[in-house]
Structure formats: structure tokens, C-alpha cells
């Protein structure tokens, strides 16, 4: 094949090498606008896995590269005058210029023709002479943009400003240096890539950048300012730029995240940064470019495969890999963009948060990398959790937590889950066994299902209630059992179904109206949940007062039943949630319109409940932090305001759920998918939060807690299949100090032994 590669970056050069290795008969021209030896940027980092891939593909270039790689293990985080060092991270770095020299030599040696100072124009007719044109022309690809529609290009320009500099200072560790200035936070990502040189990327928010006046400075002035800011890290060395003399490069940039729906059009194929970008903070662009090149060369040289089939395979396999990295990169990018959320942390937790920011590295990964450091974090966590009384080295999920005078034994909670199994709102033997078993299963705190304050406030005829003496007695029996047989605390979740009421039992059809016996439902406005649901009656002021008093009565009964805590359910589209979300609240009175107005009634109910509940016992509020409806619904910014408003009325914990507030929601599911909302409310609002939503591994819980993304972790569905989730986690993590029903001690000891033996066998296999 006759092939043109536009751009002699890692993608174009490595593709030329790989094609020539597969078949020397290919004719390959590589065009580069810059002279040889002139390039932007400084060093790039790789992981060990990338080295394995390139060694398998071309041992010759891999040998030269690996001989010249700089290796290091430690990460230093400089923050608020302290340096936190953790080890075992295993990076490899090389200068970009040297990397390109090695690839150029190898490509030339294999017979590719390299043309420098050759600016390529997509409109040039010469491209028609080629079978394939490889657009390896980088992040600002002209070849991609010339056919932006055909490629389905999606560009997301990120908020922060950065500049890619170099320095003669040799950093022994991968260094993150955070400095607080009168203009805001500014920080550097620095790492050595040669004997005498390091990369030094400076980053800050746009506001800080403008406040410094960087927008009005030329490059040398900006460098002088950065040298002063980071003087204590540079040890007398200068910062250097290599962007000034380059075509197509600017000094300060906003990172552009590129995604393309299609990676080929006609005879043009996108490769490397032209097709996709991740983010420099996870250092994987070069790796992706090299791996793209290997895959594309593989499929193009496979006999008996049509060009279209080859390109389809190239895109489908590579785009999956890219998507994984782009997800991690998004988390990492956002962490730096919202840095100020975390600057109230102590240095150790700040460093932990930084290391786990992309969610690719978890608590247990950190233990494998540097056990000693992780144990320092665990001790710090326990010390804080016990106000200095404990020096325990143990997983964060087992640390106690105090809300007013209620202390929970550990941070795991059984999330509220409707069982749809009551008659006339009265909990029965099913509920007794269900809650009893979960209480002895080890969780520190147990929530009841949404217990309704009136018959009309039920979701279904099977919901539990708290409006009469029979219900109170049945609940008291459960609460007494929990207190007598476990260390768990139990929280009564109170709610009113609003417009989502009068529907079938959960498993007979979610939100589907009853076949018969429907009751009139009410809501903030006359907006039906869906076309098949009733049009609710908008609440009058008299209705509001009546319902508020029902909540207060239920709180008093909850106290009589002996509950430790009360939660008000103001999430998931039920009555109070219908006031908060603009998608359901269309009122024009003082209860509709602005967020303050929409919160007025839910806050009134909460305040009345709080007044009826003893001041030494805590209360929480469950909210939907987003409607999953973009700007039309509750925004993440508003969720912080909502949390703050309830906290002002005496809420001690914000139980951060999301969605289910309108039928057309577009949720983005995944592991721990709602935790970012808890993180934001906790750290921007400085409130205690509980995270929930697809958290299922002990490792998830520990990572969330140690990184300060929540104070408690709730699991719902995992507890349906395993009431003993917490005790099982303790056995798995070899944590002994947990209350186990004496009747079950033997079984737990056996489980712990078996799990330990299995873990040792798995570790031996890895060695
Ligand atoms: C600040 C920063 C730090 C980074 N750190 C790392 C890291 O540590 N590790 C890592 O793996 N990656 C890192 N990257 C990403 C990495 O630089 C890119 O992902 C990688 O270079 C992509 O390779 P490429 O060949 O696709 O594109 P590029 O390396 O951008 O190469 C494209 C080439 O095409 C040339 N070109 C463009 N247009 C034309 C034209 N019209 N005619 C002729 N030639 C043209 C350009 O001059 C350039 O040489 C970082 C990126 C940034 C911005
Ligand atoms: C069967 C079932 C019933 C639920 N009932 C309630 C409820 O009564 N009140 C409530 O606030 N959330 C309820 N939820 C939501 C859960 O508390 C939790 O927020 C959600 O399931 C996500 O957590 P998970 O991924 O751990 O299951 C229910 C969830 C399930 C699966």
C-alpha cells in the first residue's frame, strides 16, 4: 500500500515503523511541519504495561527506549508546607524529543520516507495519490477538522489553564506542588525524564490565571512569575519553554478533550490525538497513540479482510480502550478543576484524594503499592474519627461516627428499601426477620423503608406506615430486637408518596397505578408522573398544614418506638421532592419558582419534625442531588444549596441520592455513580454526607471514606442478597473488632480463615 502519514509525532512514526515491520513493501511517506529535533513539550511518562506492548511489537526500538527510560516509584505531594510521600507507583519517563529521535531513526531504518518542514493541507490534491492518508496530526488536527462532520468530532474545552515547561532541576519523585497565592491556588506537575531534565507543567484556574495577569504577559514574563512562585521546588534552576519557535503551539492552553464518532472517512484514518485525547494529568496520550498504531497496522495487514472490516475492528477495539481512559481522565481533570473543594483537607487526606482522583487507584491498590503509607492514612483516619482516642490501623469503614449523641459503630449503613409487604401499614413477621437479620449482619446503621405518614401517603398498599397504634407497636418490637441483639442503630425514614402514590407493589410494576381501589393523590402541582399516572391535586395551604402535622405525629411515634434517628425522605419524586424539583413544581405562589421558594414547604416540614425530635438525636434528609435532566432540573450547584438549607434547619446528615424525580431522566450509571454528588455537597457545603448508589465492594467504601467523599456509605441492593455484608467485609479484611452474634462466631472465624488462605494462594500464583 502507498500510505501518507500526516504528522511525525509518536502516532505517525510508530505507525510507519509497525507497517514496515508487517510488510516492507508498503510505501510510506511521513510529513511533518516542524524541522527534525524541534518539538513541543518535554518528557512523557508511561506505565510498565505500555512497555510490554511496544516490546512485543518492535523489540528493537523498545530496547533503545527502555535503556534510556528514567524510572521512579515515589509521588511527592507538597501542600500547605508539608510533603507527603507515597511509594510503589512505578513510572517510566523519557524526553519527547529523544522519543521522537529514536522513532525517526527506526522508521528511516525500515525504509519509511520522512519529510520535515512540510506543512500539509487537507485540500491538496496530492492526497488522492495515496491508498491511505493517516491523520496523525495531533490534537488540533487539520485533517480531522476539515471533515469534522464526517468524523463526528466532539471537542470539550476544559476550564483550567496550563503551560508545559521544562527545567534543569532533577526531581527524584513525581512531584505535585500546590501553592496558595493571593490570586488563588496554582500548582505544578513535575517529573524527571532524563539525567538532567524534568517536565514542569504549571496549572491553575482561569480566574487565577487572569488575576495573575498571565493573559497580558509574554512567555518570558510568565516564566519569571512561575519561577518565583515555585522557587522552593526549583532549587535555583530556571524554567524553560520550547513552544515559542514552534508553529501551531501556544504557551498557555486549555486542554481539549477530543472524541470522534467515526475514525475514518474516505481514505483518511484518524490516529492518536487526532482521534481522541484523555488528559495530561493521567499521562496516557502517547501510550494511546502507540497502541492505536499497533492495532491499525495489525488489521490493515490481515489477509482476507476488507478495508472496511479492518477499519471497523480498529475503531471498535481501540475506542473501548480510549473510553476507559477518557472516563478516568475526566475524573482526574475535574479533580484539578474543582481543586478548591479539597484544599480544606489536611495534607495526608489531600494526597490520598489526589492519588485516588481518577478512581483507577483504590484503597487496596494503594496498600499494594505502599502498605506503610496506607497504614499511616488509616491511623490518621481513626484518630480523627475518635477525636484522638484511637490509634488503630484498620480500614476506614470500621471507624465509628458520631451524629449528635448517637455513635454508630462503623460507617456502613443499610439503605432504606421499601419491602411492599405490609397490610394496612403494619410491619409484620417478614419485616421483623428482615430488619432483625440486617441488624445482626454488622452494619453500623440501619434505615427502615420509606414509612408513610398517612394511608394516602403510601406508594402502594404494601407500604409500612406510622399513623396508628398497631404500627407503632410493630415497629417497637423490631427496634427492641435491634437494640437487644446488635450494636446497630436504627433510623426511621418517613415519607409521603405524593404524585407517585396509589401504585402497585414494586415487583408488580414500578409506578403503575392500581387496578382498583386507587386513592386521590396530591403533589406540588398537577403534573402527572407519567401519562398512565393520575393527575395529582396541587396541595392547598390546608393540605400542607395537615401533612406537616402527620409528619410531626409520626416523629413522636418514632420516639415512642425507640428509634435512634429520623430521616425525612425528600428525594425520588415523592411529595416533598415534587416541591424541590422544577420539573414537577409549576407553582406560581411562594412555594414555586426560585429554589428558595421550592424549598419553603419541605423546610417547613423538616423544621416541625426537628422541633418534635429530641435535640440529642440526629436527623437526616434524603435528597435527589440531580434530576439527571441537565440545566432543566436540579443542578449539582443547587444540590449544595439544598443540603445547606436543610443543615440550617438542623439536619445532621445529607443522604445524597439522585434522580427518580421525573420519568424521562437520563442517568449515567456506573460504579459509585452518585458519589460525586456526595463529594461536592460534603466538601463545598462542609456538611456530613452519606453516599449511596452502586457501591458494593469494601474497597469502594474505604476509598470513598478515606478520600473524604462521604462520612457514611449506604448499600441497598447488596444487602438484599447479603444481610451480613459488613461482617463478611470484616472477615475479608481480617478486621476482628466487630460485633458478631455469638451464635455465629464459628462460621465467621471459618470464613476468615478460608478467605485468608484463598488470598495467600492467589498472591502465590501472582508471584
Ligand atoms: C502538557 C501535556 C503533557 C503530556 N504528558 C504526557 C505524558 O506524560 N505521557 C503521555 O503519554 N502523553 C502525554 N501527553 C500527550 C501526548 O503529548 C500526546 O498524546 C501524544 O503526543 C500524541 O501523539 P500524536 O502523534 O497523536 O500527536 P502529536 O505528538 O501532537 O504529533 C502530531 C504531529 O503532527 C504535526 N502536524 C500537525 N499538523 C500538521 C500539518 N498540518 N502538517 C504537518 N505536520 C503537522 C505536529 O507538528 C506534530 O509533530 C501530554 C500532553 C500535554 C499537552
Ligand atoms: C427494592 C428497593 C426499594 C427501595 N426503597 C427505598 C425507600 O423506601 N426509600 C429510599 O429512600 N430509597 C429506596 N430505595 C433506594 C435505595 O435506598 C438506594 O438509594 C438505591 O437502591 C441505590 O443503592 P444501591 O446501588 O446500593 O442499591 C430502594 C431501592 C431498592 C432496590
The kind and range of the H/E element at 269 are strand 268-270
Q: 622 and 657 in contact (C-beta within 8 Å)?
A: yes
* Residue 81 neighbours by CB distance under 10 Å: 7
**Catalytic option among 14, 420, 574, 591:** 574
User: Which residue CA neighbors atom 2 of ligand 2 most closely?
Assistant: 417
- Over residues 134-158, the mean pLDDT reads 97
Helix axes 595-612, 541-561, angle to 10 degrees: 40
**Residue 339 pLDDT greater than 70, yes or no:** yes
Taking the centre of ligand 1 as the mean of its atom positions, its distance from the CA of residue 105, in whole angstroms, is 18
Q: Any residues with CB less than 8 A from the CB of 149 and at least 6 apart, and which? A: none
**pLDDT of 536 strictly over 90:** yes
The predicted pLDDT at position 244 comes to: 59
Cβ of 158 less than 6 Å from ligand 1? no
- Which one of 36, 289, 318 would you pick to mutate in the ligand 1 pocket, going by the greatest count of ligand atoms within 8 A of its CB? 289
- Cβ(606)–Cβ(655) under 8 Å? no
Query: What is the DSSP code string of 178-206?
Result: EEEETTEEEEEEEEEEETTEEEEEEEE-H
SS3 487: coil
pLDDT tens track for 707-746: 999 999 999 999 999 999 999 999 999 999 999 999 999 9
Q: In a 3-state reduction of DSSP, which class is residue 292?
A: helix
Question: Among candidates 64, 89, 146, 9, which has minimal Cα distance to 368?
Answer: 89
Q: Which runs of consecutive H residues, i.e. helices, occur in 562-635?
A: 575-580, 595-612
Q: Is the pLDDT of residue 248 over 60?
A: no
Atom 23 of ligand 2, nearest CA residue: 693
d(CA 156, CA 154): 7
Ligand 2 binding pocket, CB closer than 6 Å = 415-418, 449-450, 493, 506, 569, 571, 622, 657, 692-695, 715-718
Q: Tell the residue nearest (CA) to atom 29 of ligand 2.
A: 417
Q: Give the model's confidence band at 242: pLDDT under 50 very low, under 70 low, under 90 confident, else very high.
A: confident
Q: What is the mean pLDDT of residues 327-345?
A: 96
To 5 degrees, how large is the angle CA 83–CA 354–CA 204?
90
8-state DSSP, 91: E
Mean per-residue pLDDT of the chain: 95
Give 245's pLDDT tier (boundaries 50, 70, 90).
low
- Is pLDDT at 178 greater than 70 in this prediction? yes
Ligand 1 centroid–CA 171 distance in Å is 23
Of the listed ligands, the closest to the CA of 434 is 2
Residue closest by Cα to atom 28 of ligand 2: 417
Q: 114: which DSSP letter?
A: E
Place of cell 418534635: 612
Phi-psi region of 648 (alpha: psi -120 to 50; beta: other; left: phi over 0): alpha
**Cell numbers 534552576 correspond to what residue?**
237
Q: Is 7 in the pocket of ligand 1 (CB under 6 A)?
A: yes
Return the pLDDT at 498.
Answer: 98
Strands (E) in 375-458, as ranges, are 401-403, 406-408, 412-414, 445-447, 451-452
The residue written with cell numbers 446488635 in the block is 486
**Cα Dmax for the chain:** 89
Residues 494, 569 contacting (CB under 8 angstroms): yes
Report the distance separating Cα 457 and Cα 466, nearest Å. 11
Q: Is the CB of 570 under 6 A from ligand 1?
A: no
Measured from the CB, is residue 284 less than 6 Å from ligand 1? yes
Q: How many residues does the chain have?
A: 767
pLDDT in tens, 33-56: 999 988 777 888 887 778 889 999
Question: Environment class of residue 383 by beta-carbon count within 10 Å: exposed (0-12), middle (13-18) or buried (19+)?
Answer: middle
CA of 621 to the centre of ligand 2 (A): 14
Distance 186 CA to ligand 1 centre (A): 24
* Cell numbers representing residue 480 in the block: 427492641
DSSP 392: -
> In the predicted model, what is the mean pLDDT of residues 546-571?
98
- Please tell me the distance between residue 619's alpha carbon and the centre of ligand 2 in angstroms: 19
Instruction: Give me ligand 1 centre to Cα 290, in Å.
Output: 11
Pocket test for ligand 1, best of 285, 293, 333 (most atoms within 8 A of CB): 285
Q: Can you tell me the mean pLDDT for 302-326?
A: 94
The whole-number pLDDT of residue 271 equals: 98
Long-range contacts of 346-350 (CB under 8 A, 24+ apart): 346/380, 347/77, 347/79, 347/80, 347/82, 347/84, 348/84, 348/376, 348/377, 348/380, 349/377, 349/380, 349/706, 349/707, 349/708, 350/77, 350/79, 350/80, 350/84
Regarding the beta carbon of 472 and ligand 1, being less than 6 Å apart is answered: no
pLDDT exceeds 70 at position 540: yes
Q: Note whether 624 and 602 are within 8 A (CB).
A: no
From CA 372, how far away is CA 378, in angstroms rounded?
Answer: 10
The per-residue pLDDT for 299 is 97
CB 662 less than 6 A from any atom of ligand 1 = no
How crowded is residue 608: how many other Cβ atoms within 10 Å of its Cβ?
17
Q: What is the pLDDT of residues 493-510, one digit of tens each?
A: 999 999 999 999 999 999
Residue 50 Cβ contacting ligand 1 at under 6 Å: no
Does residue 120's CB lie within 6 angstroms of at least one atom of ligand 1? yes
Query: Which ligand does the CA of 713 lie closest to?
Result: 2
444, three cell numbers: 453500623
DSSP-assigned beta bridge partners for residue 406: 403
* Nearest ligand atom owner, CA of 416: 2
d(CA 644, CA 642): 5
Residue with grid cell 509497525, as numbered in its chain: 18
pLDDT at residue number 249: 45
Quick one: cell of 651? 439536619
Q: 438, 485 in Cβ contact below 8 A?
A: no
Average pLDDT of the segment spanning 537-544 = 98
Give the DSSP H/E element, type plus range, for residue 211: helix 206-212
The Cα–Cα gap between 608 and 135 comes to 65
Query: In this structure, what C-alpha cell is assigned to residue 208?
Result: 487565577
The answer to whether the CB of 201 is under 6 A from ligand 1 is yes
The grid cell for 152 is 463526528
CA distance 648 to 759: 47
The better pLDDT of the pair 576, 671 is held by 576
Q: State residue 443's pLDDT score.
A: 98
Stretch 76-103: mean pLDDT, rounded? Answer: 94
Mean pLDDT of 623-638: 94
pLDDT (mean) for 660-680 = 93
Instruction: Find the DSSP H helices in 613-706.
Output: 636-648, 675-685, 698-706
> Around Cβ 412, how many Cβ atoms within 10 Å?
28
Q: Distance (Å, rounded) from C-alpha 519 to C-alpha 455?
A: 9
Report residue 250's pLDDT band, with 50, 70 and 90 as the boundaries.
low
**What is the position in ligand 1's atom list of the atom closest to the CA of 285?**
19
The per-residue pLDDT for 119 is: 97
Compute, in angstroms, the gap from residue 598 CA to the centroid of ligand 2.
24
Angle between the N-to-C axes of helices 48-57 and 285-300, in degrees from 0 to 180, rounded to the nearest 10: 30
In our burial notation (b when 16+ CB lie closer than 10 A, e otherwise), range 725-742 reads bbbbbbbbbebeebbbbe
Ligand 1 pocket test, candidate residues 5, 6, 8, 9, most atoms within 8 A of CB: 9
Between strands 43-46 and 91-95, the pairing is antiparallel
Quote the ligand 2 centre to 446 CA distance (angstroms).
13
Residues contacting residue 182 through CB under 8 Å, at least 6 positions apart: none
Above 50 in pLDDT, residue 6?
A: yes
Which H, E and C letters describe 691-742, residue by residue?
EECCCCCHHHHHHHHHCCCCCEEEECHHHHHCCCHHHHHHHHCCCCCCCCCH
Give the residue whose CA is nearest to atom 6 of ligand 2: 417
Q: Is 574 a catalytic residue?
A: yes
Give 285 Cα–ligand 1 centroid separation in angstroms.
8
- Least confident range of 215-219, 244-248, 661-665: 244-248
Q: pLDDT at residue 278 above 70?
A: yes
Nearest CA to ligand 1 atom 3: 280
Nearest to 398 by CA among 388, 408, 406, 387: 408
Ligand 1 in reach of 119 Cβ (< 6 A): yes
Q: Is the pLDDT of residue 127 over 70?
A: yes
The rounded distance, in Å, linking the Cα atoms of 507 and 730 is: 32
Q: Is 137 close to ligand 1, i.e. is its CB under 6 Å away?
A: yes
Q: Is the pLDDT of residue 228 over 50?
A: yes
Instruction: Return the pLDDT at 530.
Output: 95
Q: Which three cell numbers stand for residue 154?
A: 466532539
Whether 663 and 616 have beta carbons less than 8 Å apart is answered as no
Measured in whole angstroms, the distance separating CA 629 from the mean position of its chain's CA atoms is 19
Q: Are 211 and 203 in contact (CB under 8 A)?
A: no
Residues 702 and 385: their CA atoms lie apart, in Å, by 14
Identify the DSSP state of 406. Answer: E
At residue 218, the pLDDT reads 87
Amino acid at each position: 500500500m502507498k500510505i501518507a502519514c500526516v504528522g511525525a509525532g509518536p502516532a505517525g512514526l510508530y505507525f510507519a515503523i509497525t507497517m514496515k515491520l508487517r510488510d516492507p513493501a508498503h510505501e510510506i511517506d511521513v510529513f511533518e511541519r516542524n524541522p527534525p529535533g524541534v518539538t513541543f513539550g518535554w518528557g512523557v511518562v508511561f506505565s510498565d504495561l505500555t512497555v510490554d506492548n511496544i516490546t512485543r511489537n518492535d523489540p528493537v526500538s523498545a530496547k533503545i527506549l527502555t535503556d534510556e527510560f528514567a524510572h521512579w516509584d515515589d509521588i511527592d505531594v507538597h501542600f500547605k508546607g508539608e510533603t507527603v510521600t507515597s511509594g510503589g507507583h512505578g513510572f517510566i519517563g523519557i524526553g519527547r524529543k529523544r522519543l521522537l529521535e529514536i522513532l525517526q531513526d527506526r522508521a528511516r531504518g525500515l525504509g519509511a520516507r520522512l519529510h520535515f518542514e512540510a506543512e500539509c493541507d487537507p485540500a491538496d490534491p496530492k492526497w488522492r495519490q495515496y491508498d491511505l492518508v493517516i491523520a496523525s496530526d495531533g490534537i488540533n488536527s487539520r485533517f480531522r477538522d476539515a471533515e469534522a462532520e464526517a468524523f463526528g468530532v466532539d471537542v470539550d474545552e476544559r476550564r483550567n489553564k496550563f503551560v508545559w515547561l521544562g527545567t534543569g532541576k532533577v526531581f527524584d519523585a513525581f512531584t505535585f506542588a500546590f501553592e496558595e497565592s493571593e490570586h488563588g491556588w496554582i500548582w505544578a506537575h513535575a517529573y524527571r525524564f532524563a539525567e538532567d531534565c524534568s517536565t514542569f507543567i504549571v496549572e491553575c484556574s482561569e480566574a487565577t490565571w487572569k488575576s495573575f495577569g498571565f493573559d497580558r504577559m509574554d512567555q518570558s514574563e510568565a516564566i519569571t512569575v512561575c519561577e518565583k512562585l515555585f522557587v522552593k521546588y526549583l532549587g535555583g534552576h530556571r524554567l524553560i519553554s520550547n513552544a515559542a519557535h514552534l508553529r501551531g503551539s501556544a504557551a498557555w492552553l486549555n486542554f481539549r478533550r477530543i472524541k470522534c464518532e467515526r475514525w475514518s472517512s474516505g481514505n483518511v484514518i484518524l490516529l492518536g490525538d487526532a482521534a481522541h485525547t484523555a488528559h495530561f494529568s493521567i499521562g496516557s496520550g502517547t501510550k494511546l497513540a502507540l497502541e492505536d498504531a499497533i492495532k491499525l497496522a495489525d488489521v490493515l495487514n490481515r489477509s482476507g479482510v476488507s478495508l472496511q472490516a479492518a477499519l471497523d475492528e480498529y475503531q471498535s477495539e481501540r475506542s473501548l480502550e480510549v473510553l476507559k481512559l477518557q472516563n478516568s481522565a475526566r475524573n482526574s481533570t475535574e479533580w484539578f478543576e474543582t481543586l478548591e473543594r479539597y484544599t480544606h483537607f489536611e495534607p495526608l487526606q489531600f494526597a490520598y484524594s489526589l492519588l485516588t482522583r481518577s478512581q483507577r487507584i483504590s484503597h487496596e491498590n494503594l496498600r499494594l503499592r505502599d502498605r506503610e503509607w496506607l497504614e499511616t492514612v488509616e491511623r490518621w483516619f481513626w484518630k480523627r474519627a475518635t477525636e484522638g482516642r484511637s490509634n488503630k490501623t484498620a480500614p476506614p469503614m470500621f471507624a465509628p461516627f458520631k451524629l449528635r449523641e448517637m455513635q454508630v459503630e462503623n460507617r456502613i449503613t443499610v439503605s432504606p428499601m421499601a419491602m411492599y409487604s405490609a397490610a394496612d401499614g403494619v410491619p409484620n413477621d417478614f419485616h421483623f426477620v428482615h430488619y432483625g437479620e440486617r441488624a445482626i449482619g454488622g452494619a453500623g446503621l440501619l434505615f427502615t423503608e420509606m414509612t408513610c405518614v398517612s394511608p394516602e401517603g403510601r406508594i402502594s398498599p404494601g407500604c409500612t406506615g406510622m399513623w396508628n397504634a398497631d404500627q407503632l407497636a410493630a415497629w417497637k418490637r423490631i427496634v427492641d430486637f435491634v437494640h437487644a441483639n446488635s450494636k446497630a442503630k436504627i433510623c426511621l425514614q418517613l415519607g409521603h408518596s405524593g404524585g407517585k402514590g396509589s401504585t402497585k407493589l414494586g415487583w408488580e410494576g414500578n409506578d403503575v397505578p392500581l387496578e382498583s381501589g386507587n386513592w386521590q393523590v396530591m403533589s406540588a402541582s398537577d403534573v402527572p408522573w407519567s401519562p398512565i399516572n393520575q393527575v395529582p391535586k396541587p396541595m392547598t395551604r390546608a393540605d400542607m398544614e395537615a401533612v406537616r402535622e402527620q409528619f410531626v405525629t409520626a416523629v413522636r411515634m418514632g420516639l415512642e418506638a425507640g428509634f435512634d434517628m429520623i430521616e425525612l425522605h425528600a428525594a425520588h419524586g415523592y411529595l416533598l421532592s415534587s416541591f424541590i424539583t422544577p420539573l414537577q413544581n409549576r407553582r406560581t405562589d411562594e412555594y414555586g419558582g426560585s429554589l428558595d421558594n421550592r424549598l419553603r414547604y419541605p423546610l417547613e416540614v423538616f423544621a416541625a419534625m426537628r422541633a418534635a425530635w429530641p435535640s440529642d438525636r440526629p436527623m437526616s434528609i434524603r435528597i435527589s442531588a440531580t434530576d439527571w435532566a441537565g440545566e432543566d432540573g436540579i443542578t449539582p450547584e443547587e444540590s449544595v444549596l439544598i443540603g445547606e438549607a436543610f443543615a440550617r434547619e438542623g439536619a445532621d446528615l445529607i443522604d445524597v441520592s439522585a434522580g427518580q424525580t421525573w420519568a424521562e431522566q437520563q442517568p449515567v450509571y456506573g460504579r459509585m455513580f452518585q458519589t460525586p454528588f456526595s463529594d461536592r455537597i460534603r466538601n463545598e457545603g462542609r456538611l456530613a454526607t452519606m453516599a449511596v448508589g452502586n457501591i458494593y465492594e469494601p474497597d469502594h467504601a474505604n476509598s470513598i471514606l478515606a478520600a473524604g467523599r462521604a462520612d457514611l456509605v449506604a448499600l441497598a441492593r447488596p444487602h438484599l442478597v447479603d444481610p451480613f455484608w459488613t461482617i463478611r467485609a470484616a472477615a475479608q479484611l481480617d478486621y476482628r473488632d466487630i460485633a458478631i452474634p455469638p451464635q455465629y462466631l464459628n462460621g465467621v472465624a471459618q470464613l476468615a480463615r478460608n478467605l485468608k488462605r484463598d488470598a495467600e494462594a492467589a498472591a502465590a500464583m501472582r508471584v
